[in-house]
Structures are given as C-alpha cells and as structure tokens.
Amino acid sequence: MASEHATLAEYLKNWSGGDETRDAVSIALLALAEASGRLSALIAEGPFVRGLGETVGDGGGGDIKKFLDVESHKMFKDALAKAPVAALGSEEADDAEILNEGAPLVVAIDPLDGSSNINTNVSIGTIFSVLPAPPGMDMNSALLQAGNTQLASGFFVYGPQTTLVVTVREGTHIFTMAPDDRVFRLTQRNLKISPDKAEYAINASNARHWPNAVKAYMRDLHAGKDGPREKDFNMRWVGSLVAEAYRILIRGGIFLYPGDSRKGYEQGRLRLVYEAIPIALLVSEAGGSATDGLRPILEIKPDNLHQRVPLVFGPTAEVERISRYNEAQSGGEASPLFSERGLLRS
C-alpha cells in the first residue's frame, strides 16, 4: 500500500526539524517535485502532444534544443520562483537567472536529461543541485561553488515509474511517485552501491577517439575471464545519464564518459555544474566515488556554468582503478603493461 510509505514532505519535515536552512532546502525540493509531477504528466502524453521531441533550436556546443527541453526549463523555473531560491543556473539558459534576490539558496539544473531519448519512450530525467547563497556572494559565484558545498542534490527519472533519487547529505534515498495520488513516497532508503557487479556503461562507438588509458582499461574489461580481470563483464548504455546512474545505484557497475579526441569532446560531453556534481554527491552518499578520471568531482571548483567534465562513477575501488590507469598513461600507444595479468589487480 502506497500510504504506508512516508511522503517526501514528511521525510523532509522530519529531517529539517525546524532548522531555517533545512526548511529552505525542503521548500525548494518540494517545488522541484511539484514541477516534476507536471513534467512527468506532459511526457506521458507523448504522441498526443505535438512536437514533444521536436527540435526548436541549437543549444550550442553540438547540443540540439528540443521542445521538451524548453518546456521543462520553464516549469522548473516557475516552481523555483515560489521557493527561497535566489538564482537558477540551467542547461537551457546561457546565464544565471535571478529569481528571488537575497534568498538563501541557488539551484543548478539540467531540466531534461537524455533529450535524444524523448521520442524513443526510454527513461529521461531532470538533474539538480542545491547550493547555499551566502550573503554578499554574487549569484554566478554561488552557482560555481565546488560540489562539496552542496546542501542537497538529486534527479528525477521519467521512466516506467516516475522516481526521485535524492540526498540531503544523510544517505541517498529513492522516492517513487505513487500512481493513485501522484505523491512521492519513500520506497528505498540508504542505497549502497554494490562493489561486485561486473558491468560497465560507456558509449563504445567513440572507442577510436578515447585516450590511451581508457583504451587500455576497456581492453582489459573486454578480455573478460581470459584477461587480467579474470571475469566477464556485461555492458549497458542507455544514453540517459539518469538511467545509468539509477541502475548503478541499484545494482552496481561503472560509468565512464571520458574526454576524447573529437572536436568539442576534449572534456567529454557531460556538464560539471548540473550533471556531474549532483550525481557525484548522490554516489558518494551511497558509498561510491565520482572523478574526472583523476580528481574527485566534488573537489573541482567550476569556472563556468556550462563547462564539460570527463565523468567516471561507481564503486570506489573500480573508480580508483581507473585513476591508476590514467596515472600510468605514458602518452604513447595503450601500454601493453596494462594487460599484464594481475598488474593492476587490487
């Protein structure tokens, strides 16, 4: 019975305990949840809404802007304007947008992640990061704080179920929107990323463009039982970051979107401020790690709202293993050393 599960509002009320900052975060999260409910209903209309996945412009940097990208941005912006949020930094707007001057929070958001999947009936989502807006700090600087200052982060998935994966820095939890009353209810507490799942997610069509360290790491995974890892690995690539992150939080595995030699992809494809940073907090609260291949994502101080970053996340031991491949990268061809049985076995 859905009603046996605590609602998001109940969970947040209990967590906040009347603390002023926590109350502000709770109001912002409930505003995001409200907008996500409306967006989920719009997505479910699918083919009955003309042009949901229609291209309406060029988002810059090779990204295509779809009708749903624009609509979702409006929905979240309108909802957050009624919350104690001073400014919004969105994938769908060039600059930070001022909402309520003097309010204690700022929010960074990818309103519609996985836009290439809109027309394919595959899970898409919304990713967000909630940061403090210290008095006197300008809004751009507030949005460009390092990820370890986040007060909360999360993502919604519009898939077979509409779900919210969220952290207020007390574990990573899943709330599922109950179909009868469309209220988010706590369905899984304290996710812990499994260390053992032999599964990876990477867009393998870019293999020829990868740096040598990534080529070497992947070659060792592909060698399976006969290679240095001595086990076979399975592969999944949905093409929606929210779907890969959800799967990894639920059953483990490793995610990589490295930088590569294609023009514009030197720092990978994903955005630091509103994709990598919120995912990194969720993953670390679930006992895993997220890096750019070497540096912890949560320690990187962003330079601009839309900058890209290579992203690796999953169980800590596997993420660290990838860092060792990167550290050992010699700059020549993928080193045969990497394939020596046991060399990099932890």
Active-site residue numbers?
63, 69, 91-92, 110, 112-113, 275
Binding of residue 239 to ligand FBP (CB under 6 A): yes
Piece of the chain touching ligand FBP by CB under 6 A; list 111-119, 171-179, 182-190, 314-322: 111-119
Q: What angle do CA 176, 239, 79 make, to 5 degrees?
A: 45
Question: Are 319 and 254 in contact, with CB atoms under 8 Å apart?
Answer: yes
Please identify, using beta-carbon distances, which residue of 110 and 220 lies nearer to ligand FBP. Answer: 110
- Bridge partners of 225? none
Binding of residue 240 to ligand FBP (CB under 6 A): yes
Cα distance between residue 303 and residue 144, in whole Å: 7
Binding of residue 203 to ligand FBP (CB under 6 A): yes
Binding of residue 292 to ligand FBP (CB under 6 A): no
Binding of residue 90 to ligand FBP (CB under 6 A): no
C-beta nearest to ligand FBP: residue: 241
Phi and psi torsions of 227, nearest 5°: -105, -170
Q: Which of 29, 32, 43, 63 binds ligand FBP (CB under 6 A)?
A: 63
Binding of residue 36 to ligand FBP (CB under 6 A): no
Piece of the chain touching ligand FBP by CB under 6 A; list 8-16, 108-116, 246-254, 330-338: 108-116
- Bridge partners of 255? 201, 313
- Bridge partners of 125? 113, 157
Binding of residue 126 to ligand FBP (CB under 6 A): no
Binding of residue 314 to ligand FBP (CB under 6 A): no
Cα distance between residue 106 and residue 134, in whole Å: 10
Q: What angle do CA 199, 283, 215 make, to 5 degrees?
A: 40
Question: Are 306 and 316 in contact, with CB atoms under 8 Å apart?
Answer: no
Q: Which of 71, 92, 110, 285 binds ligand FBP (CB under 6 A)?
A: 110
Token pair in block for residue 322: 């990838």
Which residues here bind ligand FBP, judged by CB under 6 A? 63, 110, 113-116, 203, 239-241, 269
